[in-house]
Structure 1
Amino acid sequence: MNTLHNFFFNVYPYICLSVFLMGSLARFDRDQYTWKSDSSQLLRKGQLRWGSNLFHIGILFLFFGHAVGLLTPHFFYEGIMDASVKQRLAIYAGGTAGVLCFVGLTLLLHRRIFDDRIRLTSHRTDIGILVILWVQLVLGLITLPYSYSHADGSAMLVLAEWAQRIVTFRPDAAALVTMDWPYKVHLVLGMTIFLLFPFSRLVHVWSGFGTLAYVVRPYQVVRSRKLGLTPNDPRQP
């Protein structure tokens, strides 16, 4: 068990991050025609609209909430709030976002599995990744009572310390030995999602972030048609 613990929390994070980054780059370079999220919006549009909106609102909040909560050093916010306040904020805000995301994902999963037409046009990886995300959300919601029992923020500080050590290449699996099992399984499955990311429809997340470049993109230069050129002039636009 000690060997498995060290592998999952010292080595496995780097395997998942390496595959996540290099796999995404390789797929974009070699298989751009598969770089998309297949649409089924012509079928059961009402359920899709509710499910997709709730899921995306919840998952975006959870993603950035986890990133900020785990990767922000304690001294950045200790002058504003102590660890216990941050812990309660994470429980209430994260719990609300988690419930929204869970409802939305359940609608999407129900739609994809129980509608024969949608199921027949779905890839196995589409259903598989939705199931994994659903299980991950359930595990995240299970951690809420455990987090509430550690209302002093001690568990959050341990998790944040581990995550910050991972990104600074100073892994320390020993910090997680005493953590409750839902946290550990939630972490391992979360890392596994990063591992599977390049091989699933989740790659369209990169495109979503890529659209932010349009905000700072310079204006497109379009040549005016009022150039006084003849129709056969080679300079004619």
Structure 2
Amino acid sequence: MNAENWMHVFLYGIYPYIAITVCIFGCWVRFDTSQYTWKTSSSQMLQPRNMRVASNLFHIGILIVLLGHLFGMFTPHAVYEHFITAPQKQIMAMVVGGVAGVVCLFGLIMLIIRRFSDPRISHTSTFGDKALLIILLAQLLLGLGTIFVSMDHMDGVMMMNLANWAQNLAILRPVYAASLVEQAGIVYKLHMFLGTTLILLVPFTRLIHIISAPIWYLGRRYQIVRQKSAQ
């Protein structure tokens, strides 16, 4: 195996395990040592204008995209092959993912403009806050770019290879998993690499809130707020 093949195996067969390991242990350490940083550090109080629209568009779009990736890539083909073919699945993924991706893109662009152009928000933002938005934008654009590349091969073969890649990683077959995407286009490979990198970045950024589930809020008592009496 030459150096190029080893690099491919590392990026698409070994690197995902490194990212997941760093994510798990990084989240554990952050929760154990810095629980007060486990938040999104919302800037809505600094400037509420357009925040709700931008945030809703982004989160609705990204949730649909993430759920689509989760079920689409980790559900074995045998589960649905009796009622949907691989080409039909590809068309459905392109349409649903494309619409959700565009919705997410509009929200993300609004958030980026807000984060970079508003002086108060910009000055209180960390380098990581701004860099994360740019990385998310690049990842989203790459994801939307795969839709246009997929139009050149509507047989569903590449989508099946990508799904099999994820499923073989899940059953600890990294070398075989990497071989399944060796012939994938550069847009797919960049999208996969950047997506893996985002998993690695979770413990070190505001992405940490993705794995939070504050369900106890539903049963929490109302907070009593009293206005200060006029003197």
Q: What TM-score do you get using the length of structure 2 for normalisation? A: 0.89
Query: Where do 4+ consecutive residues of structure 1 move more than 2 Å?
Result: 211-215
Q: Is the 8 A contact 2:142 2:187 kept in 1?
A: yes
Aligned to 1:191: 196
Does the alignment pair 1:177 with 2:182?
yes
Which of 35, 38, 50 is matched with 1:35 structurally?
Answer: 38
- Matched residue type, 1:67: L
Q: CA deviation at 1:44?
A: 3.4
Q: CA deviation at 1:170?
A: 1.0
- Matched residue type, 1:205: I
Q: CA deviation at 1:81?
A: 0.5
Q: CA deviation at 1:26?
A: 1.1
1 CA distance for matches of 2:215 and 2:195?
25
Deviations 1:129-156 (A, max 9, x none): 1110010001001111112222111110
Aligned to 2:156: 153
Q: CA RMSD of the aligned region, Å?
A: 1.5
Aligned to 1:104: 107
Structure 1 unaligned residues grouped into runs of 5+: 221-237
Q: Is the 8 A contact 1:23 1:198 kept in 2?
A: yes
Q: CA deviation at 1:177?
A: 1.2
The residue correspondences of 1:90-129 to structure 2 (distance < 5 A) are: 90-129=93-132
1 CA distance for matches of 2:8 and 2:42?
40
Q: What TM-score do you get using the length of structure 1 for normalisation? A: 0.87
1 CA distance for matches of 2:115 and 2:201?
20
1 CA distance for matches of 2:217 and 2:72?
28
Deviations 1:158-183 (A, max 9, x none): 00001000011012211111111100
Taking a change above 3 Å as real, the CA distance of residues 61 and 120 of structure 1, as seen in their structure-2 partners, is: same
Residue 82 of structure 2 aligns to a residue in which SS? Answer: coil
Larger Rg: 1
Deviations 1:196-220 (A, max 9, x none): 110001111122xx235778xxx89
Q: CA deviation at 1:43?
A: 3.4
Which of 111, 129, 134 is matched with 1:131 structurally?
Answer: 134
2 CA distance for matches of 1:118 and 1:24?
26
2 CA distance for matches of 1:156 and 1:38?
37
Aligned length: 215
- Matched residue type, 1:12: Y
Aligned to 2:208: 203
Aligned to 2:9: 6
Aligned to 1:74: 77
Taking a change above 3 Å as real, the CA distance of residues 213 and 77 of structure 1, as seen in their structure-2 partners, is: farther
Aligned to 1:83: 86
1 CA distance for matches of 2:192 and 2:184?
11
- Matched residue type, 1:143: T
Deviations 1:91-116 (A, max 9, x none): 00000000000110010011001111
Q: Is the 8 A contact 1:24 1:198 kept in 2?
A: yes
Structure 2 unaligned residues grouped into runs of 5+: 221-231
2 CA distance for matches of 1:67 and 1:212?
22
Q: Is the 8 A contact 1:159 1:176 kept in 2?
A: yes
